[in-house]
Chains A and B, each alone.
Chain A
């Protein structure tokens, strides 16, 4: 369509090596959704605001709508699909379910990964650290109280082991 040379991008997604030949302007979120059919990562605002497209890239959260796919070359990506293991929910997913930390669920994949990232850095986050940790994720349903509850519950559960 554009006459621009396509680029072969290699990444590991949820532990699996994947590759795709894409136009350089392909966004990471679309690489995941359209090329790898991993549609758990959502596109919300598409303007670097809402955080619905948050994934882990090399252990750090990033808004996948704000990265061109070739920039992720060689990267280790974890999406929401990579959180549960052998049919068991990740403790953060479990906590969101139990605390009603979601309503429509659109923002949830991003919030889950932001929470995983927060708890990987801070085992026992303070209230302030929790708020700061999820400040880049917008939820339009819950009013955040149950999300905060879920993050606290996940921290407590993961702190046990």
Chain B
């Protein structure tokens, strides 16, 4: 759950061409796999195929660099292991991003600390107006939980991340700690009052999500620190949100995504609003200027149009295989406009479907 060195990330983030994988925002799978194969020879092949099946030596299974494996039984043990094993060790939760990255040799941890066997870390609870997600709560668990269905934007997000198989393994804590610029949870939870409880050998601390992300793939978490819980304040009754993520097909990351949480006041005024843009910058971007044009104003077309204009200006998209920067700017503006409309309708009590959109859905 710790950081990838920035220089490497940038090389990854900006080198984009060819196909796509479910791994990350702008990775190019064919190039990366080819690179891994040609630079590391037999390391990329199956560790067993060579000896057991000599005729299948050339079988092209993509393999992670060797690492030692450590199973943690408690949060404390996990953070102590990270401390002992040093900077090259990494935490593994659901593994739905880290394993593909390791197979492509984008990251090469010397050791993995597996937290999947820590008991009680996947609970989803609702208490005192707060929704509490254990770090290991799987997207599928959240999708099906009563607690999450009370916050539509959380439901939109959980139900559409990648596909069933990935949602069955991927975790909310892992998603936040990875801090992928195209991750879904970061954008969604930034529209709500969210804090992240973290644990390290020296004790615990709680960090506001607004202060959590530093850069692409980089958070404020220390090397020996891990997320234990994500705490979301239940929004007010007259508040609702929508998350729209536009993607080519189910398993891939979105091309652009918009998260809007809106609180309605009297006579259709926007009492408060948060607008967060995903996939169009090195982190999720809070569009504060756009929020300002709507806050304390009547929700009318002219205002929404100027908010959307501000969104276009706030986005910092890159050209990649999912689309040109210009295209993404148009797309993010359209998504925000729709998300504002859906959030407002939901805040008025209407049932409206929203979430991830892709061909064949």
Interface on A for B, CB 8 Å cutoff? 1-5, 7, 22-27, 30, 34-35, 43, 45-49, 51, 54, 60-63, 66-68, 70-71, 73, 114, 117-118, 128, 131-133, 135-137, 144
* Smallest Cβ-Cβ distance to A25: which chain B residue: B64
Q: Which residues of B contact A35 (CB under 8 A)?
A: 48
CB of A90, distance to nearest CB on chain B (Å): 19
Query: CA of A34 to CA of B50 in the docked complex: distance in angstroms?
Result: 11
**Are A67 and B114 also in contact (CB < 8 A) when A7-B69, A48-B21, A117-B164 are?**
no
Interface on B for A, CB 8 Å cutoff? 21-23, 29, 33, 42-43, 46-50, 52-53, 61-69, 71, 92, 95-96, 99-100, 102-104, 112, 114, 116-117, 140, 162-166, 168-169, 249-252, 358, 360-361
Q: Which of A3, A48, A73, A133 contacts B251 (CB 8 A)?
A: A48
* Smallest Cβ-Cβ distance to B100: which chain A residue: A48
Q: Which residues of A contact B46 (CB under 8 A)?
A: 26, 30, 34
B21 touches A47 (CB 8 A): yes
B361 touches A131 (CB 8 A): yes
* Smallest Cβ-Cβ distance to B141: which chain A residue: A60
Q: Which of B47, B64, B67, B116 contacts A71 (CB 8 A)?
A: B116
Subset of 29 A-B contacts with CB under 8 Å: A4-B67, A4-B68, A5-B68, A24-B69, A25-B64, A25-B67, A27-B99, A30-B46, A30-B61, A34-B52, A46-B103, A47-B22, A47-B33, A49-B21, A61-B164, A66-B100, A67-B95, A68-B69, A68-B99, A73-B71, A128-B361, A132-B361, A133-B164, A135-B163, A135-B251, A135-B358, A136-B163, A136-B165, A144-B360
A136 touches B162 (CB 8 A): yes
* Smallest Cβ-Cβ distance to A54: which chain B residue: B165
Q: Which of A25, A43, A51 contacts B47 (CB 8 A)?
A: A25
* Smallest Cβ-Cβ distance to A3: which chain B residue: B66
Query: What is the predominant secondary structure among interface residues of chain B facing chain A?
Result: loop
Q: Which 3 A-B pairs have the closest CB atoms?
A: A136-B163, A2-B66, A24-B69
A2 touches B47 (CB 8 A): yes
Q: Which residues of B contact A43 (CB under 8 A)?
A: 61
Q: Which residues of A contact B53 (CB under 8 A)?
A: 34
CB of A99, distance to nearest CB on chain B (Å): 19
A24 touches B67 (CB 8 A): yes
Q: Which of A26, A61, A114, A128 contacts B48 (CB 8 A)?
A: A26
B47 touches A23 (CB 8 A): yes
* Smallest Cβ-Cβ distance to A128: which chain B residue: B361
Query: CA of A68 to CA of B47 in the docked complex: distance in angstroms?
Result: 13
B71 touches A70 (CB 8 A): yes
* Smallest Cβ-Cβ distance to B42: which chain A residue: A1
B165 touches A51 (CB 8 A): yes
Query: CA of A50 to CA of B162 in the docked complex: distance in angstroms?
Result: 12
* Smallest Cβ-Cβ distance to B60: which chain A residue: A46
* Smallest Cβ-Cβ distance to A70: which chain B residue: B69
Q: Which of A49, A62, A68 contacts B112 (CB 8 A)?
A: A68
CB of A132, distance to nearest CB on chain B (Å): 7
Q: Which residues of A contact B99 (CB under 8 A)?
A: 27, 48, 66-68
CB of B42, distance to nearest CB on chain A (Å): 8
A49 touches B22 (CB 8 A): yes
Q: Which residues of A contact B116 (CB under 8 A)?
A: 71
* Smallest Cβ-Cβ distance to B68: which chain A residue: A4
A47 touches B23 (CB 8 A): yes
* Smallest Cβ-Cβ distance to A50: which chain B residue: B251
Tell which of B23, B49, B103 has the most Cβ of chain A within 10 Å.
Answer: B103
Q: Which residues of A contact B162 (CB under 8 A)?
A: 136
Q: Which residues of A contact B69 (CB under 8 A)?
A: 7, 24, 68, 70
A71 touches B63 (CB 8 A): no
* Smallest Cβ-Cβ distance to A144: which chain B residue: B360
A71 touches B251 (CB 8 A): no
* Smallest Cβ-Cβ distance to A37: which chain B residue: B52
Query: CA of A27 to CA of B50 in the docked complex: distance in angstroms?
Result: 15
A26 touches B47 (CB 8 A): yes
B168 touches A48 (CB 8 A): no
Q: Which residues of A contact B67 (CB under 8 A)?
A: 4, 24-25
**Are A61 and B165 also in contact (CB < 8 A) when A66-B95, A71-B92 are?**
yes
Tell which of A5, A30, A47, A131 has the most Cβ of chain B within 10 Å.
Answer: A47
